[in-house]
Amino acid sequence: MLSFLKAYIKSMRLYYSFVTGIAGCIGVLFYQWVATSEGKLGTSELTRTIEAPTPDEKILVILVILFLSWGINQIYNDYLGRKEDRINAPKRPMITGELHPGKAVLLSTILMLGALLITIFYLEPIAVIPLIAGVLLNVLYEYAKGYGILGNIIFGIMISMCALYGFFASGPMEVYLTKSRISALVFVAILNGLMTYYTYFKDYQGDKAAGKMTIVVKYGLEKNRIIAICASFLPTVLFLTGYYGFRTFEIELNNIFIILGILTFFLQVWTGVLYYRNPIGRMTHYSLVTNFRACTCGQATIIALFNPMLGIILFLLAYVFVGFLFNLHTNVKA
């Protein structure tokens, strides 16, 4: 049992947990901002209705579910992606036999059912919608990644469900979606769709052998070196266009957000540069840590729009612990 749990936790790849965790924090912390606001929120006409601050113990439960959701769902990905993993990651526990596939999937299913029941009977039943949607999108992603950009879109939407879950699970409300909230979900999807694009470089050989036509496989390494550079500007360009051109975020920018935004922009561009320089090889794997930091720190920057202090704290925590947890996994084939 101990060896099984050790292999299961290893397969969860917890350095990814900040991806779902910080995405969920956007929803949780935005709800608190709405619940404690008086009058207009930002520049919008939206006012607080029945929202009330979430008890600390419920926030803790929500965050535990969100931070562990990546790892729990990663088991399904490993199970469905064993064909390409035999080439890309032959040392993963499910490939080596260290982790029994059926038992691992059963445990993940039990944990997901537990999260479902907790959401229905302890949190807010409405949050079941993004929870179930996230699980279904995770399964769909394993197939969609073989169809070019469709895989990136599905992945991005899947992670945006974490933000929606965090928001819906935090307490009652009368207004569920507004232009600003939808814009935030779209931006989370863009950040994560881009993040998963860069992960395809390390999987190039296995995806190609398995017939998975990711963008990297479809257009080849040389063209994707250029795409990697150009795509790194995408989140910043789309945010500025949306904010100033279409007023998609109805919140005034603050100095903390601008500073964190500049730092995130650097991380995103540097990620593009790293994959331009090393589209294949050992360094392709180690460039992932910058890629994950760019994504998670970008999500923390969104929080700084409405809660600058927590935005800074989560930005720093994501930067430090993504690197720390990543470095605990030294085997590039695992």
What pLDDT digit, counting tens, does each position of 174-203 carry? 999 999 999 999 999 999 999 999 999 999
Per-residue model confidence (pLDDT) at position 250: 84
Token digits of residue 103: 């038992």
User: Residue 198 contacts by C-beta under 8 Å, 6 or more apart in sequence?
Assistant: 228, 271, 275, 287, 288, 291
Per-residue model confidence (pLDDT) at position 45: 61
Spatial CA neighbour of 108 closest among 86, 85, 83, 77: 77
**Residue 306 scores a pLDDT above 70:** yes
Residue 68 C-alpha from the chain's centroid: 12
Give CA–CA dist 242/236, Å, rounded: 10
**Confidence at 333, pLDDT banded by 50, 70, 90:** low
Which uninterrupted H or E stretch holds 158?
Answer: helix 149-169
Note the pLDDT tens digit of each residue in 210-259.
Answer: 889 999 999 999 999 999 999 999 999 999 999 999 988 888 999 999 99
**Residue 39 scores a pLDDT above 70:** no
Beta bridge pairs of residue 47: 40
Q: How far is CA 320 from CA 18, 172, 317, in A?
A: 11, 34, 5
3-state secondary structure of 185: helix
Average model confidence (pLDDT) across the chain: 93
Q: Where are the domains of the chain?
A: 2-327
The count of other CB atoms within 10 Å of the CB of residue 256 is 17
Residue ranges in 81-125 assigned as alpha helix (H): 82-88, 93-96, 101-121
Note the pLDDT tens digit of each residue in 254-304.
Answer: 999 999 999 999 999 999 999 999 999 989 999 999 999 999 999 999 999
Give CA–CA dist 117/111, Å, rounded: 10
User: Residue 191 contacts by C-beta under 8 Å, 6 or more apart in sequence?
Assistant: 156, 235, 295, 298, 299
Strands (E), 65-114: none
Note the pLDDT tens digit of each residue in 68-112.
Answer: 998 999 999 999 889 888 888 888 999 999 999 999 999 999 999
Q: What sign has the CA pseudo-torsion 79, 80, 84, 88?
A: negative
Give CA–CA dist 255/187, Å, rounded: 20
Per-residue model confidence (pLDDT) at position 219: 96
Q: What are phi and psi of 59, to 5 degrees?
A: -60, -45
CA gyration radius, the chain: 19
Contact by Cβ (8 Å): 165, 66? yes
Per-residue model confidence (pLDDT) at position 138: 92
**Residue 318 scores a pLDDT above 70:** yes
**Residue 46 scores a pLDDT above 80:** no
Residue 324 C-alpha from the chain's centroid: 18
Note the pLDDT tens digit of each residue in 130-177.
Answer: 999 999 999 999 899 889 999 999 999 999 999 999 999 999 999 999
Beta bridge pairs of residue 213: 147
Per-residue model confidence (pLDDT) at position 43: 67
Give CA–CA dist 289/319, Å, rounded: 9
